[in-house]
Chain A
Amino acid sequence: MAVTTALPGELEAPALAPMSYWRTVAWRLGRDPATLAAGGALVAIALAALLAPWLAPYDPDAGSIRARLAAVGSAGHLLGTDEQGRDMLSRLLWGGRMTLVAGLTPVLVAFLLGTALGVLAGYVGGLTSTLVMRTMDIFYAFPSVLLAIAISGALGPGLANTLISLSIVFVPRVVRVAESATVQVKSLEYIAAARASGAGVAAIVRHHLLANVLGPILVFSSTQVSLSIILAAGLSFLGLGVTPPAAEWGLMLNTLRQSIYVNAIVPALPGVAIFVTSMAFNLLSDGLRDAMEIRG
Chain B
Amino acid sequence: MWAYAGRRLLLAAPTLLGASIIVFAMVHLAPGDPIAAVMPAESSQAEIEATKKAYGFDKPLPVQYLVWLGRVAQGDLGRSIATRRPVILDVRDALANSLVLALSSSLLAFLLGIALGLLAAFRQGRWLDKTASAIAVVGVSVPHYWAGIILIIVFSVQLSWLPAMGASQDGGVLDYLRHITLPTVALALIPLGVITRVVRSAALDVLNQEFVLALRAKGLAARRVFAHVVKNSAPQILTVLGLQFGFQLGGSVLVEAVFSWPGTGYLLNLAIFQRDMPVLQGVILVLATFFVLLNLAVDLLQTLVDPRIARH
* Interface residue ranges, A against B (CB under 8 Å): 134-135, 137-146, 149-151, 153-156, 226, 230, 233-234, 237-240, 250, 253, 257, 260-261, 264, 267-268, 270-271, 274-275, 278-279, 281-283, 286
A268-B149 CB under 8 A given contacts A144-B247, A239-B273? yes
In chain B, what residue has the closest Cβ to A267? B149
* Interface residue ranges, B against A (CB under 8 Å): 11, 14-16, 18-19, 22-23, 25-27, 29-31, 137-138, 140-147, 149-150, 152-153, 157-158, 246-247, 249-251, 253-254, 257-258, 268-269, 272-273, 280, 284, 287-288, 291-292
In chain A, what residue has the closest Cβ to B133? A286
- Cβ–Cβ contact B149 & A253, under 8 A: yes
Could you say which residues of chain B place their CB within 8 Å of the CB of A142? Answer: 19, 22, 250, 284, 287-288, 291
- Cβ–Cβ contact A238 & B269, under 8 A: yes
- Number of A-B pairs, beta carbon distance below 8 Å: 139
- Cβ–Cβ contact A141 & B146, under 8 A: no
CB distance from B183 to the nearest CB of A (A): 15
Could you say which residues of chain A place their CB within 8 Å of the CB of B284? Answer: 142, 146, 149-150
- Cβ–Cβ contact A156 & B31, under 8 A: yes
CB distance from B134 to the nearest CB of A (A): 10
Contact residues of B: prevailing secondary structure = helix
Could you say which residues of chain A place their CB within 8 Å of the CB of B14? Answer: 134, 138
- Cβ–Cβ contact A279 & B250, under 8 A: no
- Cβ–Cβ contact B137 & A138, under 8 A: no
A282-B272 CB under 8 A given contacts A141-B19, A146-B288? no
CB distance from B32 to the nearest CB of A (A): 8
Could you say which residues of chain A place their CB within 8 Å of the CB of B142? Answer: 275, 278
- Cβ–Cβ contact B258 & A238, under 8 A: no
In chain B, what residue has the closest Cβ to A272? B146
- Cβ–Cβ contact A154 & B150, under 8 A: no
Give CA–CA (A260, B149) in the complex, Å: 8
Choice from B146, B254, B268 contacting A274 with Cβ under 8 Å: B146
- Cβ–Cβ contact B280 & A141, under 8 A: no
Could you say which residues of chain A place their CB within 8 Å of the CB of B257? Answer: 237-238
Give CA–CA (A267, B22) in the complex, Å: 36
Could you say which residues of chain B place their CB within 8 Å of the CB of A238? Answer: 253-254, 257, 269, 272
Give CA–CA (A247, B23) in the complex, Å: 31
- Cβ–Cβ contact A141 & B268, under 8 A: no
Could you say which residues of chain B place their CB within 8 Å of the CB of A226? Answer: 140-141
CB distance from A135 to the nearest CB of B (A): 7
Could you say which residues of chain A place their CB within 8 Å of the CB of B272? Answer: 149, 153, 238-240
Give CA–CA (A143, B286) in the complex, Å: 12
- Cβ–Cβ contact A275 & B16, under 8 A: no
Give CA–CA (A142, B247) in the complex, Å: 9
Choice from B26, B30, B153, B269 contacting A260 with Cβ under 8 Å: B153
A155-B149 CB under 8 A given contacts A142-B288, A282-B137? no
CB distance from A284 to the nearest CB of B (A): 11
Choice from A143, A253, A261, A279 contacting B146 with Cβ under 8 Å: A253
Could you say which residues of chain B place their CB within 8 Å of the CB of A149? Answer: 253, 268, 272, 284
CB distance from A230 to the nearest CB of B (A): 5
Could you say which residues of chain B place their CB within 8 Å of the CB of A234? Answer: 143, 145, 254
Give CA–CA (A155, B291) in the complex, Å: 23
Could you say which residues of chain B place their CB within 8 Å of the CB of A230? Answer: 143-144
Give CA–CA (A131, B56) in the complex, Å: 32
Give CA–CA (A154, B34) in the complex, Å: 11
- Cβ–Cβ contact B18 & A143, under 8 A: no
Identify which of B146, B257, B258 gathers the most chain A CB atoms within 10 Å of its CB.
Answer: B146
Could you say which residues of chain B place their CB within 8 Å of the CB of A250? Answer: 143
Identify which of A139, A150, A156, A270 gathers the most chain B CB atoms within 10 Å of its CB.
Answer: A150
- Cβ–Cβ contact B146 & A278, under 8 A: no
